[in-house]
Amino acid sequence: MSNPSNYCGTNAHHISRRAFLSQALAVGSGSLLGSSGAIHALDETSINDALRKTGRSVILLWLAGGSSQLETWDPKPGRPTGGPYDSIPTSVPGVHISELMPKMAKRMHRTAIIRSLNTRDGGHGTGAEMMLRGRKNEAALQYPDLGSVIAKELGRADSRVPGYVSFYSQTEGRGSGKLSPAFLGARYAPMNLDDSTMPPNLTRLEAINDLDHRDRARLRELLSARFSAGRETETMRSHASAYARVHGLMSSEPLFDIEKEPRWVRNWYGPSLFGQQALMARRMVEAGVSFVRVSRAWWDSHGQNFETHAEMVPELDHVMATLLDDLDQRGLLESTLVVAYGEFGRTPTINASLGRDHFADAWSAALYGCGIQGGSVWGKTDEDGRKVVEGEVGAGELFATILAAVGIDPNHEYQVGARPVPLVNPGIRPIRDLLA
Amino acid sequence: MRYLSPSLHLTNGKSSARGAWVLSLAMVCGAIASAADAAKPWWEKMDPATLPAANLPMAEVIDRCIDQKLKQRDMMPALTAPLETRLRRLMLDLHGRVPTVGELDAFVAEGDSPEAWARHVDRIMASQAFDRHLSNELNWLLMDGQGTEFKKYLDLAVTKKKGWDVVFRDAVAGQVDTESRPGVDQFLRQRVMDTDRMANDVSVRFFGVNISCAQCHDHPYVKDWTQDTYYGMKSFFDRTFDNGGFVGEREYGQISFKTSKGKEKPATLSFLGGAPLTDPASMEPNEEQKKAERALLEQLKKDKKPPPPAQYSRRARLIETGLSTEQQHWFARAIVNRVWDRLFGCGLVMPLDQMHGENTPSHPELMQWLARDLAANGYDLRRLIRGIVTSKAWQRDSRWQSDTRPARNLFAVAHPRPLTPRQQAMSLRFAAMEPAYLAPSKAKPEEIEQRILNTERGASGYERWFERPGEDFQVSVDEALFLSNSNDVQGQLLDGSGLVKAMEALPEVAERIRLAGKAVWQRELSEEEVSLLASYLDARGDRPQAGLRQIVWAMLSSAEFRFNY
């Protein structure tokens, strides 16, 4: 028996004919606003929305390996599944979180929690792929990941900074969840900072001086333009524009140099790599990068869950709180959405090694900043945290919420060949209660 | 254990297409006449009389069909491209790299005649580098370039000149033989966890049709394609399973699906919406038999042995049906279209995975003729490639001077195609090396072969910086940054460049520039270009070597180098 859950943009899935036609129209008539605004080119309020969108960014704090919801956002103290840690009250009356997160508890009125994620996939690789794309790939269609979509929708075509940066300096678990722009193409692929905090090939080599570097680029441009006359294709134009971005990107080099931050700011974020990368993420969104992923690994606590979380949760608490305060002080919190989750949560049942295993049936995510209603809590698990009893949502709803929070219509469609592909599967809606 | 039997009834040659491909009725009957015809696939609406004679040379048929359509549109095609441009194109398409100065000179010395061209083509196709490039391309077609083990099979299949039908047969049967079919089971293994993917991949890659739209509802654009079509195709694979890293197949089992109206319906085995196929009678095993089967499979897993092949295999049934006289037109057209697309940058049918009955090719007669010719000649891809690259249509210039560029599928002008990662990586290395390194005067032929192989291997490290072009391909900024600032490019291609050393050894500036033009762009530079580059060098009189490196860089990173035009 097969369970059809795929979508391919036909009447069979009730797609809006109006949306389809208006997109076709916008494509046909050329778009003033780039693809992000194209679909609503006829709608004045949407144009305003589109203009407001520029300057918005998303930071994803990727908790690789799967952090425990019970030691963070959904504690169950005193229950057999609860573990040794207590819960504490927060700045929002009635909402309690783990005692390991005192700083975020004080900032709960600015933060939203989802406690009812049921994403059904407890595999590191497949779970990570789904949580990065908001849905499963199809046999015939691979979906772009969140960063690529955000970079396309919020970024500027002529940006001098990268649209999408992904940090992953931890060695463990890097193979899980490969990032991919899929059909959005290389323009929206992540700049991966796997091995160092400086992107590859961003720095001019000693072998050539700055003047020659620029001059030879001009010579290259001239030679290419001569060749392209009478032969130009879209791909050839993309070749020219890729080179046109080189010097702009090279000038963003200081962005990646954390030494440029005052010492007290670096100390504020703390000495951990996670903290330093969160600070880099702030530098980047300040400079106009649309999407930054910062990863913290490795949460996969099959054994000694409580020691692991005793070490890692306070760090998460500190970094999240510092990032919130820093963004706020700089006036960036209104335009920056911060989201924290990983590929899944952890089992309520504590295993024989005092660990918790993979668990995708009832877990949590946290959001603050742009478009988010602080102090809101969505969904509920049962008293032992074994299943969702209220407000069950999946990866799709989480994605729709993220997109809606930064002003992107989740029903917006891309055209892939003959097929319209919406940003989230049809029927999936944002969690309105979490949106400001 | 009657459910897993020891022998596989899948022999090469059974229902083979070789030699005697009869035009199926489906391909030739009836002209466009009645209203009833409107519902037929395009190939059933064609008049057989419009197909050129089978014994004509392929290149002639190609040109006749292409030119006929251009004439109908009152359009003059572009002129034939200059010889050097054509040689560059030929080497890029058949060896995966640009020719060196020495190779180019040797070619050009033979003059520009159709006979000389045919000799170049034959010489290039007889080389091992041709086999390597073809195998690499087929690995992309079937495995997205990821077939590390399957590639061993492909290398062997290409060297042994196996027909495309044999490759299909071997890949779908998946029976490893260390001598003749090493690693062949990777095609199935890579997909065995997801039979939807397996069914769709086989349909797309071997038959040119993407049926996945019909998975959840009837196909929106193709009236004949329903959910039954999809599940009929999927049924060929639903008995295939993974057993500890080996692929097995059961002889029982039937899938059902939920219709778009929400009803449960059993699937019927059928090939691309054709008549239902019946399996030999098989019984669903009882609990005890299933238990014994599970125990056997567990034991085989422990012993790291493959499950015995099924006596009756639905995959073998697919091979037999797909290559049958009545149905092989799908298979033949699909590979014709892929090869054509690879060499022209646009298929006769676009998109490549929508080769269904309602998507008429740009040149239907040509498509039918080529498919018929291929099937009648043992699915020999070399024959097809040779026919295409000796046609006039393939040898056209890429520049279109007047008004609007004609549609790509008219083939009136060559379409500039972005290089693949392999083409680009290898071309960078070959262009920047000592220009005479491969000249016949420099070493014995075997030694030159070895030098070519070593240089090819040395280039493979660059491939990761480039992306495989697909439709609507965009060049990434990572690539531009790599060429602009990487140690690999600066150190290996510029500082250590045999080309720059050879340029320095020449006394005159103009000579130096001309050598760069020939090595990197495979052509004589115009006077205007020479003086432009000379003035660039002139401004760097105090650092002449740096100047030479910079002009080589500017040429290597230019659009002229990046595209196969």
- Dump pLDDT digits (tens) for B475-484: 988 899 999 9
- Closest-CA residue of A relative to B407 is A233
Q: Are B333 and B366 spatial neighbours (Cβ–Cβ below 8 Å)?
A: no
Two structure tokens written together for B145: 């370039």
* Residue B563 covered by a domain: yes
CA distance B240 to chain A (A): 15
CA atoms within 13 A on the CB side of A316: 34
Q: Could you tell me what percentage of chain A is helix, strand and coil, using 3-state DSSP and rounding each to the nearest 5? A: 40, 15, 45
Residue B183 inside a domain? The answer is yes
Judged by CB atoms closer than 8 Å, whether chains meet at A208 and B560 is answered as: no
Name which of A150, A170, A176 is nearest A284 in CA terms: A150
Tell me the chain A residues in contact with residue B256 when contact means C-beta distances shorter than 8 Å: 1-2
Q: A9 φ, ψ to 5°?
A: 70, 40
Q: In terms of pLDDT, which residue wins out, A7 or B301?
A: B301
Burial of residue B175, with CB atoms counted within 10 A of its CB: 0-12 exposed, 13-18 middle, 19 or more buried: middle
Nearest CA in chain A to B546: A208
Q: Does B468 lie in the same domain as B381?
A: no
Identify the CA nearest to B345 among candidates B118, B564, B108, B67. Answer: B564
Smallest Cα–Cα separation from A213: which of B546, B89, B177? B546
Min Cα distance A329 → chain B (Å) is 34
Whether residue B206 is found in the same domain as residue B118: no
The average confidence (pLDDT) of chain A is 86
With CA atoms as reference, the chain B residue closest to A139 would be: B197
What is the pLDDT at residue B19?
Answer: 34
Residue A45, pLDDT > 80, answer no
DSSP β-bridge partners for residue A338: A59, A368
Q: Which of B467, B479, B554 sits opposite A219 (nearest CB)?
A: B554
Q: Between chains, do B475 and A230 touch, taking CB under 8 Å as contact?
A: no
Residue B413 within any structural domain of the chain: no
Q: Do A227 and B469 touch (CB under 8 A)?
A: no
Same domain, residue pair B532 and B472: yes
Structure tokens at B275: 């008549």
Nearest to B215 by CA among A416, A10, A15: A10
Give the DSSP letter string of A208-226: S-HHHHHHHHHHHHHHHHH
CB contact under 8 A, B554 and A220: yes
Pairing state between β A111-117 and A363-369: antiparallel
CA of B481 to nearest chain A CA: how many angstroms apart? 6
Contacts of A208 in chain B (CB under 8 A): 490, 546, 550
- The stretch A16-29 carries a mean pLDDT of 34
Confidence of residue B69 (pLDDT cuts 50, 70, 90): very high
Same domain, B71 and B104: no
Question: What value does the mean pLDDT take over residues B340-357?
Answer: 95
- Residues of chain A with pLDDT > 90, as a percent, come to 68
Q: Do A245 and B480 touch (CB under 8 A)?
A: yes
CB pair distance less than 8 Å for B477 and A205: no
CB contact, 8 Å: B472 with chain A?
yes
Which residue do the tokens 């036909």 mark?
Answer: A10
Give the nearest partner residue to B480 out of A222, A228, A242, using CB atoms: A242
Interface test with A, best of B484, B529, B552 (most A CBs within 10 A): B484
> Both B382 and B448 in a single domain?
no
Are A213 and B484 a contacting pair at CB < 8 A? yes
Beta strands in B348-452 (DSSP E): 417-418
Flag whether B142 is in a domain: no
Q: Which contiguous run of DSSP H or E holds residue B154?
A: helix B150-159
Whether B74 and B92 map to the same domain: the answer is no
Task: Give the C-alpha separation, B199 to A6, whole Å.
Answer: 16
User: CA-to-CA distance for B219 and B358, rounded, in angstroms?
Assistant: 12
**Last residue in a domain, options B273, B294, B322:** B322
- Closest by Cβ to A201, choosing from B194, B481, B553: B481
Of B395, B411, B435, which one is at a domain's C-terminal end? Answer: B395
d(CA B84, CA A205): 35
Q: Give the separation between CA A300 and CA A296, rounded to whole angstroms.
A: 11
Distance CA A250, CA A95 (A): 46
Residues of B in contact with A11 (CB under 8 A): 220
**How many distinct structural domains can be found in chain B?**
3
DSSP letter string over B460-529? GGGGGGS----TT----HHHHHHHHH-HIIIIIIIIT-HHHHHHHTSSSHHHHHHHHHHHHHSSPPPHHH
C-beta atoms of A1 and B264 within 8 A? yes
Q: Which residues of A touch B475 (CB under 8 A)?
A: 186, 235, 238-239, 242
Chain B residues in contact with A123 by the CB 8 A cut-off are none
Is the confidence at residue B36, as pLDDT, over 70? no
pLDDT of residue B174: 94
Which pLDDT score, from 0 to 100, does residue B273 have? 86
Residue B335 lies in a domain: no
Q: Is residue B540 part of a domain?
A: yes
**Chain-centroid distance, C-alpha A290:** 10
Which residue out of B475, B528, B545 would a mutagenesis test of the A interface target, given it has the greatest number of A Cβ atoms within 10 Å? Answer: B475
* C-alpha dihedral (A221, A226, A231, A235), degrees to nearest 10: 0
In chain A, residues with a C-beta closer than 8 Å to the C-beta of B260 are 4, 12
Q: Are residues B312 and B189 in the same domain?
A: yes
Given the DSSP bridges, would you call strands A377-378 and A111-117 parallel, antiparallel or unpaired? parallel
- Tens of pLDDT along B95-113? 999 999 999 999 999 999 9
Q: Tokens 């910079």 sit at which residue?
A: B550
> Which chain A residue has the Cα nearest residue B196?
A139
User: Which positions 186-225 of B are in contact with A (Cβ < 8 Å)?
Assistant: 194, 196-197, 199-201, 204, 210, 212-213, 215-218, 220-221
Q: How far is B477 from chain A (nearest CA, A)?
A: 5
Q: Is the Cβ of B161 closer than 8 Å to some Cβ of chain A?
A: no
Across the interface, do B477 and A245 touch by the CB < 8 Å criterion?
Answer: yes
How much of chain B, in percent, has pLDDT values that exceed 70? 92
C-alpha A283 chain-centroid distance: 16
B243 located within any domain: yes
Domain boundary among B290, B322, B354: B322
Nearest to B479 among A185, A242, A417 (CB): A242
Cis peptide before B225 (omega within 30 of 0): no
For residue A312, CA distances in Å to A56, A86, A104, A347, A364 come to: 29, 16, 14, 18, 16
DSSP 8-state secondary structure symbol assigned to residue A318: H
Q: Which amino acid is at B63?
A: D
Whether residues B259 and B304 share a domain: the answer is: yes
Distance CA B333, CA B355 (A): 8
Which of A17, A165, A220 should one mutate to test binding to chain B, selecting the residue with the greatest count of B CBs within 10 A? A220
Cross-chain residue pair A238–B477, CB shorter than 8 Å: no
Regarding whether B71 and B95 lie in a shared domain, the answer is: no
- Range 249-278 of B in CB contact (< 8 A) with A: 255-258, 260, 264
Report the C-alpha gap between B565 and B397 in whole angstroms: 8
The answer on B196 and B250 residing in a single domain is: yes
Which H or E element spans position A34? none
Please state whether beta strands A419-422 and A413-416 pair in parallel, antiparallel, or not at all (unpaired): antiparallel
| CA distance, residue A267 to nearest chain B CA (Å) | 33
CA–CA dist A50, A45 (Å, integer): 9
Looking at the fold, whether B351 and B455 belong to one and the same domain comes out as: no
pLDDT given at position B163: 98
C-alpha A425/C-alpha A429 separation (Å) is: 9
Q: Name the B residues in 544-563 with CB < 8 Å from any A CB.
A: 546, 550-551, 553-555, 557-560, 562-563
The range of the structural domain enclosing residue B349 comes to: 41-78+341-395
Across the interface, which of B194, B398, B495 has its CB nearest the CB of A139? B194
Q: Between residues A221 and A55, which one has the greater pLDDT?
A: A221
Quick check: A137 contacting B, CB < 8 Å? no
Query: What letter would DSSP give residue B239?
Result: T
Cross-chain residue pair B416–A2, CB shorter than 8 Å = no
**A8–chain B Cβ distance below 8 A for any pair:** yes
The better pLDDT of the pair A413, B14 is held by: A413
DSSP-derived 3-state class of residue A416 = strand
Averaged pLDDT, A264-285: 94
> Does residue A216 belong to the interface with chain B, where contact is any CB pair within 8 Å?
yes
Contact status, residue B259 vs residue B319, Cβ threshold 8 Å: no
Please give the ipTM for the structure prediction.
Answer: 0.89
| pLDDT level of residue B260 (50, 70, 90 thresholds) | confident
B506-533: pLDDT as tens digits = 999 999 999 999 999 999 999 999 999 9
The per-residue pLDDT for A10 is 42
Q: Do B560 and A223 touch (CB under 8 A)?
A: yes
User: Is residue A279 scored above 50 in pLDDT?
Assistant: yes
- Residues constituting chain A: 436
**B445 in the same domain as B493:** yes
Residue A175 has pLDDT above 70, yes or no: no
Strands (E), A309-362: 336-341, 345-346, 358-359
Nearest CA in chain A to B560: A227
Residue B561 has pLDDT above 80, yes or no: yes
| The pLDDT of residue A170 | 52
Residue-wise pLDDT for A103-139, tens only, equals 999 999 999 999 999 999 988 888 998 999 999 888 6
Model pLDDT, residue A13: 44
Chain B residues with beta carbon closer than 8 angstroms to that of A227: 558-560, 565
Residue A243 to residue B563, Cβ atoms within 8 A? no
> In this complex, which of B200, B482, B563 lies closest to A140 when CB atoms are compared?
B200
Within a domain: B4? no
